[in-house]
Amino acid sequence: MERKGSSKKYIPFTYKMMIPYLILVLLTDVLVGYIAYTMLVESRTEMAETNVRTALKQTRNNIEYQTDEIKRMTNSLFLNTNFQNALQFRGDPLENMLKMRDDIVPYMKAPLQLYGNKLRLALFTVNETMLDITGDDMSMPIGRSDYYVLSDQVIENTELLPCFGDRPNMRLTIGHSCAAYDELKGWICLCMS
């Protein structure tokens, strides 16, 4: 006998079993995928934070090293009694030239040879009998390491030392007073590229 008027369609048993199975598998795949994605994002974020912290720490250490190096350079000049005595020496031009050649120039060259970066080391001395040693033009960017010995009259009535300036390649400038026994002997200006 045929059934007439039956509006229900026949669905095989295998389809009935496959649909819940597919729903279960798809839901678990979506759940596992979501968990894996969030864990990946968290680990990448943590790794990026660790890398940034490490880079900042290394940058801080590099800056501290550079600053300590500059302190060592200035201390090697201003804590040296031969250099101090040479700055105070007053004599005839020949004696001054010999004193500068023997006692000032070697101490000015030493930091330039030991330091890795290009720098400009300028000594502004109060002793008017000292001879001037001019190097490259101070208004130009630093192309090579150089030193200067100039009279303090160059910087008299100026707010900035000549080796200071608004140049994009200059990273650090330090002014250092060379004083002992409350008597000013000179200024040092250190400019780095």
| Mean pLDDT of the chain, nearest integer | 76
How does pLDDT run across 62-119, given as a tens digit for each residue?
A: 989 888 887 888 788 778 888 888 888 888 888 888 888 888 888 888 877 777 777 7
> Pairing state of beta strands 172-180 and 146-151?
unpaired
pTM over 0.85: no
Most confident range (mean pLDDT) of 5-9, 138-142, 160-164 is 138-142
pLDDT at residue 49 greater than cutoff 90: yes
Q: How far apart are CA 19 and CA 124, in angstroms?
A: 90
> Pairing state of beta strands 119-125 and 146-151?
parallel
Instruction: Count the neighbouring beta carbons within 10 Å of the beta carbon of residue 163.
Output: 24
Output 184 or 119, whichever has higher pLDDT.
119
